[in-house]
Amino acid sequence: MDKILEGLVSSSHPLPLKRVIVRRVVESAETPLSQAQCRAMFALSTRLVLQGPDPFQRQVGRQVLEAYGRYHRAEFEAFFNRGLVLGLLQRGYGELSNRDPAILDYIQAGLRLIMSCPSVLELFELLQVEALRLVCERPAPPLCARLCQLLGDFPQCLPRGRKLSLAFCQQLVRSIAHFQSQGSREAELRLYVSQVTQVSGLLRSVWKAEPDTLLPSLQELFAVISAADTSFEPSVALASLVQHIPLQMITVLIRSLTTDPNVKDASMTQALCRMIDWLSWPLAQHVETWVIALLKGLAAVQKFTILIDVTLLKIELVFNRLWFPLVRPGALAVLSHMLLSFQHSPEAFHLIVPHVVSLVHSFKRDGLPSSTAFLMQLTELIHCMMYHYSGFPELYEPILEAVKDMPKPTEEKIKLILSQSAWTSQSSSLPSCLSRLSGKSETGKTGLINLGNTCYMNSVIQALFMATDFRRHVLSLNLNGCNSLMRKLQHLFAFLAHTQREAYAPRIFFEASRPPWFTPRSQQDCSEYLRFLLDRLHEEERTLKALSSAKTSESVMNEESQTQEAVYKAQAFAEAPCIRSGERTLIEKMFGGKLKTTICCLNCKSMSQKEEAFTDLSLAFCPPTSLENIGPKCVEHSEVKDDYVVQTNTLATGPAAETPLNNLEVNGGCDTIMKEGTMKDISTEPNSENSTNSELNKVQDNRDMSQKLVGKNTLSVTDLLNYFLAPEILSGDNKYYCEKCASLQNAEKTMQIIEEPEYLILTLLRFSYDPKCHIRRKILDNVSLPLVLELPVKRAMSPLAVVSGGWSVGVELSEIGENLAKKLKPSGADEVTCPQLVPYVLSSVVVHSGVSSESGHYYSYARNVTGSGPSGLCHQSSTALSLVSPQDKLLTEESPCTVVENELDTEMPREWFLFNDSRVTFTSFQSVQKITSRFPKDTAYVLFYKKQNSTCGFNTSSANGLWVNGDPPLQKDLMDAITKDNKLYLQEQELSARTQALQAASASCSFRPNGFDDNDPPGSCGPTGGGGGGGFSTVGRLVF
């Protein structure tokens, strides 16, 4: 058979005929053969594999060897023995050199065939020795890469024992130092890079399996690059090893290098210069991190001579690397640090000045977003240097002309950058002289720095940011040239989404959004802040729309008539109902719903109705009797006439000059007397809380009654909503003035949601006013939070349907604020009620920690919820906690606790986040549910629910550009601002070097991988955040 095969492959027959015959020969491998025949076939196939003159013969050899070796394993084991393998590795095969990669290909194929044979162990021992010998002979990249592939597939062949393993790693490092590319064409360079990557990957595997070999390998690496031998230049391929060195070792290694008296200045200079050369390696990761860390380490120990020499030697090379996109980020980072720190002389800057203009023009011609971003950074760097080294107009005028259309940093910003970057600003405390190695936490989310008892704002902003559809709408708005509050919110959302910082300081937004009556640096009510914020955003958009409409309808007017027209149209806009969804403000679209309140006189049965918009519902705690008997609530406090007002947070439909947002609260029947349609905020007057004593006292009474009657039974959000929607009897002092009866009468009041919002905000009324202590005490009852709830919405289908946000037919808009109940529609009006259960999924939970609204701490839990539900979490009605009509059965039959457990089973891992000021961690819904039971002072306060299976008419495949993680692309000015801020991140960390070292030490002893919520409560609020977030410091990323 071997003679036939040998004659066939060397014959002149057509190739297709040869393939057919070869297939027959391979198929005949199953037939029994003598030992001699097998040996002859193995010898022939080996010769074809190793010496075949063309690819066809080598392929035939591999097919025959594999087929006959598989079916005649014992014979192949005898053939593929120690002598054969050793001869191949030391002498080669015929004319084939032992350094040819084909030898290793053949050996690897043979090892696969005898893996189950006992003799393979002997071959493994042989290869362990031969592998070490091979790397000591400095193999070329192709052979070394093939050897590393063999060792990667068969780790049993790696040298064993600490001494041999360490020697292998050190010799492999030296082998890489001798690598040189054999060509200059792109295909050849790509092959070379892949071979180097194969070798460095094996070293990484060895370091990971045997950590003791890492530090000696790095010492060998430093010995290679610090050698003063001018006859040998180590290969740039050594840069491939940097990405495999743990960044956590920077502190140890840099301290060792910069403080070791045995490391001479000449050696350090040589090593640093060669590390800078590594910036040319296309796939090198973290090279700039190590270079900058070493530069800062040298500055910390005041080795300025080395820094000056290296900067002057390599500044032009680093600048030239900016021409190559693959290595541009690292080169710019190193260039920026070198220039900004070299502040004693313009010499280094002037070396690159002649080349700046051509590079700027190249970036402009490129037009790519990445090139534009780098041009922004380069321009800022150049402006800093020209500011520092002024007095050279002949050198700088061409540069100023080239960058005249680029933003120029402010003088304060330039001074800040320069002060942070000087060598003299580097601390001698080594850990703090290093840049932070990672920005955001592992969650990828950004925290908000507490500016001094601003956790109430931070928790609300994070909840709004995690309201995905709202965030996307805000980010997609075109607000260029507008200095509105919405613009500032857009800026804040953009930084939360894209900054590299672990936490962002929202100072500008805080000053713009803080209610005037809020005392700075004092704790406030997050619910009150949320209402004020939404009201401001709503009113601002309405006003801007009205002014815009007025401008487009005008032709040529004098200044006075234009002002009058704008005011007139603003009033017209405010008074006109928004019928089409396109006319609604963003706040109305996202958070606006409608509530209808009906009062029925129990004497004459006449009815009066009122519709009112709301952005949140505030739910009082209910007594257990109302849950068990589902009877009407009985309120016997304060007189209520026809001009009642439902206690909800309502969007204004009247003129802007009047009360824009009626900050009313649903208290389950505890109404506040309103006069002339106005209402004063609780916080505006010292005694304003007295006006709500009756409601708050009733809330406290309900809590006490609940504890007495049902003990420690846990209420749910379902219970509170059912109690709110249940009928309420107005009697006693709270009798209703009936227009038809012309007297005070007992009446029944019911409330129905007739239009649901996209995001349902629920505030639990946990604070009751204590007149003795003059504080608002807290109701600490635990409330179960359903992941999914169904909101009952009663849509009114009537020929005389009321317009959006208005009163019933017959009510003039101009009469809002008067006794509007006198013109409500009669009780006999035809109406068709269509109840519908609208599913909502829990999006965010704002938690208050403390016992009073004037103290404590806020933090929030949140998850990403889109219209279709988070991570596919779309519960069917059978598993949802549904709310049903008060006229029907108010309480669901299924136990809330049981349903919640069912929901928890389907929860996606790491879906929830905990936002505690500057700290963001992963958490779980179990932690949300158990927070009050584990920490009694920590209670859910404000809840955000997202309407399920709704996209708010927002197309995520917008033609505006590519979307990142579902969010719209940022406008250029926003992205530029973020890019600039990210560039400054490193310098900002350097400014307080010693403080960073202390924070790092504090974080190392206080960090818990599972997050604070599984161990201790957040505690109180302070300038650095609550107990859960203050004092925590992660390591940040090098960013320019």
Beta-bridge mates of residue 912: 863, 923
Please check whether residue 912 is in contact with residue 927, taking contact to mean a CB–CB distance below 8 angstroms.
Answer: yes
Q: What is the 3-state secondary structure (H, E, C) of 242-293?
A: HHHCCHHHHHHHHHHHHHCCCCCHHHHHHHHHHHHHHHHCCCCCCHHHHHHH
| Tokens at 92, concatenated | 């080669």
- For 381-539, list the strands marked E by DSSP: 447-448, 503-504
Verify whether residue 72 is a known catalytic residue: no
State the Cα–Cα distance between residues 926 and 932, nearest whole angstrom.
11
Listed residue (263, 289, 342, 300) closest to 431, CA to CA: 300
Rounded Cα distance, 902 and 879, in Å: 7
3-state secondary structure of 180: coil
Catalytic residue among 383, 388, 491, 857: 857
Phi, psi (deg, nearest 5) at residue 488: -70, -35
Rounded distance, CA 617 to CA 920, Å?
Answer: 28
The rounded radius of gyration (Å) of the Cα atoms in the chain is 38
CA dist 779 to 283, 707, 739, 940, Å? 59, 11, 38, 11
- Cα→Cα distances 546→80, 566, 582, Å: 89, 7, 14
> What is the Cα–Cα distance from 978 to 829, expressed in whole angstroms?
58
Does 455 participate in catalysis according to the annotation? yes
Contacts of residue 242, defined as CB under 8 A and 6 or more positions apart, other chains included, come to 278, 284, 285, 286, 287, 290
**800/817 Cα distance (integer angstroms):** 23
Phi/psi region, residue 758 (left: phi>0; alpha: psi -120 to 50; beta: rest), is alpha
The contacts of residue 699 (CB under 8 Å, 6+ apart) are 620, 621, 667, 670, 765, 768, 779
Distance (Å, whole) CA 492 – CA 846 = 19
Start-to-end CA span in the chain (Å)? 69
Residue 667, token pair as written in the block = 């208290």
Q: Give the whole-angstrom CA distance, residue 664 versus residue 646.
A: 7
Per the residue annotation, which of 433, 455, 526, 1021 is the catalytic one? Answer: 455
Question: Taking a C-beta distance cutoff of 8 angstroms, is the pair 475, 890 a contact?
Answer: no
Q: Which residues contact 965 (CB under 8 A, 6 or more apart)?
A: none
Taking each continuous run of H as one helix and of E as one strand, the counts in the chain are: 35, 24
| Structure token digits, residue 462 | 């994070």
Residues 416, 439: Cα–Cα separation, whole Å: 21
Contact status, residue 763 vs residue 944, Cβ threshold 8 Å: no
Cβ-Cβ contacts under 8 Å for 330 (sequence gap 6 or more): 279, 284, 287, 288, 321
- The residue whose two tokens read 């045997």 is 210
Q: How many other CB atoms sit within 10 Å of the CB of residue 568?
A: 12
User: In 10 A of CB 48, how many CB atoms?
Assistant: 23
CA atoms of 906 and 873, how far apart (whole Å): 7
Residue 493: count of CB within 10 angstroms of its CB: 22
CB-based contacts of 56, cutoff 8 Å, min separation 6: 9, 15, 18
Which residue's entry shows tokens 């003039």? 812
**Residue tagged 């089409």 (tokens):** 580
Instruction: Give dist(CA 193, CA 197) in Å, integer.
Output: 6
Enzyme catalytic residues: 455, 857
